[in-house]
Structure 1
Amino acid sequence: MQQTIFGRCSASTFLALGIAGAAHAQDMSTAAAMPDGAPRTWSISGFGTFGAARSSERQADYTTTILKPNGTGVSRAWSTDFDTRAGVQLDVNLDRRWSAVVQLVSEQRLDNSYRPQVEWANVKYQATPELALRFGRIALPMFLTADYRKVGYAYPWVRPPVEGYSSLPVFASDGVDATLRWNLGDVHNAAQVLFGRNKPPLVAPYRAVARSLFGMSNTSDWGAFNLRINYIRANLTTNVGEELFDALAAFGPAGQALARRYAADHKIVSMANVGVNYDPGNWFLTAEAGGTRTQSFLGRTRNAYVSAGWRWHALTPYATYSRVRAAGATSERGLPLDGLPPAYAVPAAYLNGALNGLLSTIPQQTSASAGLRWDLRANMALKFEYDRVKPVDGSRGTLLNPTPDFRSDRPFHVASVTLDYVY
């Protein structure tokens, strides 16, 4: 009977050894004796997804994150890009205390290339049986799938719900972390704290850096029940929208107040999330809820989803409902136009429209999904999914590249198929 691995372990373990019979990873490995007799071992494992999706919305692109340049919809009828990826991972055990991992992932980037990028690259020191320290590039402890988000085989859906997961476009930190494992009766816990920074892979001339990044997470396992609580906070520096806010500030105190309120440069951004999963074997029920907060045009949002599935031999039908809503302003009156001469009123009105265009990018939408996972073999799964998506009136939801003819508050449909594998 196949088991899910929500929150149970790291993707490193999943790829190398398999989890509760769900994956059969075939490793290329070697070992050599250390001077103290401890083995030095290394292993190579990999994963990948080939996907195709089609959207009925023809005036915007459906995709999975703002770090994709396009998707299915206005750019093309079918897209094989945003779900498709391939990854390879090297795990090295130097001795009983020291180990390292490097993971490379090739997937669609903002420049439309598939140039591989380093997803993970860190060294771990096992200080005690309960305490582990790492430094390097480390997965951010966010969401139930934090340790295996890129490994499509590891979760039942075609993709995690975009209403929540697209709110965090980057999933790694360059820095240090500490993980302490502790027990409270029959409840097994892993508490993690990290410090670092992140540089989202934007395309010139845009740039962004998240400094003073702090994250903490606690995962609790009690039999078939899993609970994960996460929080991340960072200081964001970016030039996105810089020209708009400089132009607003030139209109005096009113414009300067708008620039201070909505500019994203040197602003604190934070995210919190709670996820639960119950998986006794023949079925599963999982749910997550969270929110983002920033005093800028990026706004504040709240998101949640619930998903359930039933396993019958090699088949797992499932259903998901998810939503994201704004928790702050999504429109702004902007610069006062009364009394301005035409030479100033026209550009002021244009700037007001540009500001509201930015605010309209705050995602608000709901999705209802139904899907089927078919485990073809121990390390390969074929998935089909249908999504009914509806952006809230005035928002483009999570869509990209809307045309002037795009209209919100009307549902559209997405059909997807993926083939996931691990080795």
Structure 2
Amino acid sequence: MLSTFTSAAMAEADLKVSGFGTLGGIYNDNDTLNFHRAFTLKATDTAWSWKSDSLIGVQLNASLDEKFDAVGQLVLKDRVSDRFNDNIELLFMRYRPTRDWYVRLGRTHAELYMLSEYRNVGYGYLWARPIPEFYAFSSSISQVDGVDVGFSRRVAGGLLDVKLGYGKSNAVFEGLNTQFEIDLEDVWVFTSQLTFEAWSLRLAAAQAEVDSFTFKAIGLVDGLNQVPSNLWPQASTMASDLTPEGQILNYFALGATYDSDSWVFQSEIGYMHSDWSFLQSFYSGYASIGYRFGDATLYGVVAHIENQNPPLYYQAPNLSPEVPPELSSAIGELYAESQLAINLNRVHQSSFSLGVRWDFYPNNTLKFQWDNINVEEGGTALWSHSFTQEIDTQVNLFSINYSFIFSL
């Protein structure tokens, strides 16, 4: 967490300015799949790209008195959204009635994963970027506007942190060369983390209701609802399954880290449950291990993401020969487009990564990483491409990152 870099200085000053940045290049050897670090960011081009991993951020911590403080964080990166407000990652007021308790009001992170408080701070984690199989989906809804309550307590020789938050969230995404926007309401987030000696264990759970969703496929719902049930009975079922409003999304995650002497280990697993056919339930996870020698750390990562259930297929309309050809053709086209939209966001891929991190100077680091990614047929939701993938595909990514932090 960037605020930990400045906590000592905050005791001496009312205002503290700090920041971070990354200049990162990615080479993609696949000429059809464009890489997505996160859905709120634009996809990279094939060959070399310097946009996906590059960013700059600044954070202000203001200590108002013994019980009140405020935090603001602005991060500039290659976002899909062109709204300035989306660059504000953090903006909240915090009140500490006691040493153990606090209440925050404003924009905070959802904190569903181990990197919640420093996901944008490349200097703060081992790899070239957060593992896409786990973070591309989970970090896309990262900002929550609302309120949360937390407390810390010593338990069994360790420190227990528990938080419960409520609010709403909005995000503009890019996927499969298409932009879409989602509004979530009644966002509940619970996190619990236990830290003792070299270990840290984390449990997170969240629930949200889809308030609105803007995407071209949603226009299919109106068309499906206009098809008479006697012509195609399953049209209403497809329309209901595609309708976003009122859909409930549930997310659960477990994480663990071990960091002691030469060895560092981190692993997370997640599960997203949804009855919404446009965003089908999936499992994801990764395991990372690193070994330090001097100023360098060698590391390896394995990761996987896969939908829980097979693709959804609905019975095609079986129209009577008496149906006019124009109407029959329109219904057939509506079915094909709806079926494509339903399985548009399916994902199935595994990756293996090797890399080295070199802390060549205080607060500065270089990272070199190779990712070998196997993308299964029909499981390309983490990528942007212009046509349906009909065979399994392998992608190699080569990354070089320079990351830093600073304090003024």
Q: TM over 0.5: same fold?
A: yes
What does residue 214 of structure 2 align with?
239
Q: Which one of 145, 157, 172 corresponds to residue 174 of structure 1?
A: 145
CA distance, structure 2, for counterparts of residue 259 and residue 243 of structure 1: 10
Equivalent residues in 2 for 1:326-365, closer than 5 Å: 326-339=307-320, 341=323, 342-358=325-341, 359-365=343-349
> Cα deviations across residues 173-209 of structure 1 (Å, max 9, x unaligned)?
1000011112222121000000000111359995421
Range 343-352 or range 126-135, more displaced? 343-352
Equivalent residues in 2 for 1:243-322, closer than 5 Å: 243-253=219-229, 254-296=234-276, 297-322=278-303
Quick check: 2:172–2:179 contact (8 Å CA) kept in 1?
no
Relative to total residues, which structure has the larger strand share, 1 or 2? Answer: 2
Q: Which amino acid aligns with 1:339?
A: S
Q: Which one of 184, 189, 192 corresponds to residue 160 of structure 2?
A: 189
CA distance, structure 2, for counterparts of residue 372 and residue 308 of structure 1: 11
CA spacing shift, 1:113–1:177, aligned 2, 3 Å: closer
Q: Which amino acid aligns with 2:298?
A: P
**Structure 2 counterpart SS, 1:198:** strand
Give the Å deviation of 1:246.
1.4
CA spacing shift, 1:324–1:405, aligned 2, 3 Å: closer
> Cα deviations across residues 292-340 of structure 1 (Å, max 9, x unaligned)?
1222111101001001000111111100000001013423235423436
What does residue 44 of structure 1 align with?
17
CA distance, structure 1, for counterparts of residue 71 and residue 302 of structure 2: 35
Answering whether residue 37 of structure 2 is matched by residue 64 of structure 1, we say: yes
Give the Å deviation of 1:352.
2.9
Quick check: 1:262–1:295 contact (8 Å CA) kept in 2?
no
CA spacing shift, 1:78–1:227, aligned 2, 3 Å: same
**Structure 1 counterpart SS, 2:137:** coil
CA spacing shift, 1:91–1:205, aligned 2, 3 Å: same
CA spacing shift, 1:190–1:214, aligned 2, 3 Å: same
CA spacing shift, 1:262–1:113, aligned 2, 3 Å: closer
What does residue 396 of structure 2 align with?
413
Give the Å deviation of 1:230.
0.4
Answering whether residue 357 of structure 2 is matched by residue 373 of structure 1, we say: yes
CA distance, structure 2, for counterparts of residue 95 and residue 272 of structure 1: 36
Quick check: 2:347–2:378 contact (8 Å CA) kept in 1?
no
Answering whether residue 108 of structure 2 is matched by residue 138 of structure 1, we say: yes
CA distance, structure 2, for counterparts of residue 153 and residue 205 of structure 1: 30
Range 342-351 or range 123-132, more displaced? 342-351
CA spacing shift, 1:56–1:329, aligned 2, 3 Å: same
CA spacing shift, 1:65–1:275, aligned 2, 3 Å: same
Structure 1, unpaired ranges of 5+:
1-9, 19-26, 32-38
CA spacing shift, 1:405–1:128, aligned 2, 3 Å: closer
CA distance, structure 2, for counterparts of residue 263 and residue 281 of structure 1: 52
> Cα deviations across residues 148-170 of structure 1 (Å, max 9, x unaligned)?
10100000000111011111212
Q: Which amino acid aligns with 1:285?
A: F
CA spacing shift, 1:104–1:309, aligned 2, 3 Å: same
Quick check: 1:337–1:348 contact (8 Å CA) kept in 2?
no
CA spacing shift, 1:214–1:116, aligned 2, 3 Å: closer
Number of aligned pairs?
392
Give the Å deviation of 1:349.
2.9
Quick check: 1:135–1:177 contact (8 Å CA) kept in 2?
yes
CA spacing shift, 1:304–1:187, aligned 2, 3 Å: same
**Structure 2 counterpart SS, 1:72:** coil
What does residue 223 of structure 1 align with?
197
Give the Å deviation of 1:347.
2.6
CA spacing shift, 1:300–1:389, aligned 2, 3 Å: same
Structure 2, unpaired ranges of 5+:
none
Give the Å deviation of 1:63.
1.8
Answering whether residue 408 of structure 2 is matched by residue 422 of structure 1, we say: no
**Structure 1 counterpart SS, 2:172:** coil
Question: Structure 1 length as normaliser, TM-score?
Answer: 0.87
**Structure 2 counterpart SS, 1:12:** helix
> Cα deviations across residues 331-362 of structure 1 (Å, max 9, x unaligned)?
32354234364323323332333233331322
**Structure 2 counterpart SS, 1:355:** helix
Equivalent pairs: percent with the same residue?
23
CA distance, structure 2, for counterparts of residue 231 and residue 399 of structure 1: 26
What does residue 101 of structure 1 align with?
71
CA spacing shift, 1:271–1:417, aligned 2, 3 Å: same
CA spacing shift, 1:282–1:89, aligned 2, 3 Å: same
**Structure 1 counterpart SS, 2:328:** helix
Range 334-343 or range 375-384, more displaced? 334-343
**Structure 1 counterpart SS, 2:377:** coil
Give the Å deviation of 1:60.
2.1
CA distance, structure 1, for counterparts of residue 95 and residue 85 of structure 2: 31
Q: Which amino acid aligns with 2:147?
A: V
CA distance, structure 2, for counterparts of residue 268 and residue 12 of structure 1: 33
CA distance, structure 1, for counterparts of residue 179 and residue 39 of structure 2: 16
